[in-house]
Amino acid sequence: MAKAKIKPIGDRVLVKHLDDSKEQVRGGIIIPDSAKEKPQEAEVIAIGTGKKDENGKSVPFEVKVGDKVLISKYGGTEVKIDEIKYTIVREDDILGVIA
């Protein structure tokens, strides 16, 4: 598990996509990285400070660091830290935890 140099704020979660190192080949044509779909499986690297309810009480996260999760295909913001690509997503963009 990687240790990131960034701490998300609020209900945001920092994830690292699980590398799908298999090259995508369709009909004998290798698909370039720029045309590949972003994988939906990711590992939680860091969680934010938490969301507050209408009374100002902290709402606990449903994920924890180290969880393998499914995230929405187009959700989040990609960031690059020390040549490693991460995505910052809202907890609502996490579809589920992989058991």
3-state SS assignment for residue 34: helix
- For the whole model, what pTM was predicted? 0.76
pLDDT at 90 over 90: yes
pLDDT at 82 over 90: no
7 in any annotated domain: no
CATH of residue 65's domain is 2.30.33.40
1 in any annotated domain: no
Q: In this predicted structure, what is the pLDDT of residue 20?
A: 57
Based on the structure, what is the number of domains in the chain? 1
| Averaged pLDDT of the chain | 83
16 in any annotated domain: yes
Distances (CA, A) of 50 to 19, 83, 97: 28, 27, 18
Q: In this predicted structure, what is the pLDDT of residue 4?
A: 64
Q: In this predicted structure, what is the pLDDT of residue 43?
A: 95
Full domain range(s) for residue 77:
12-97
CA pair distance 46, 60, nearest whole angstrom: 14
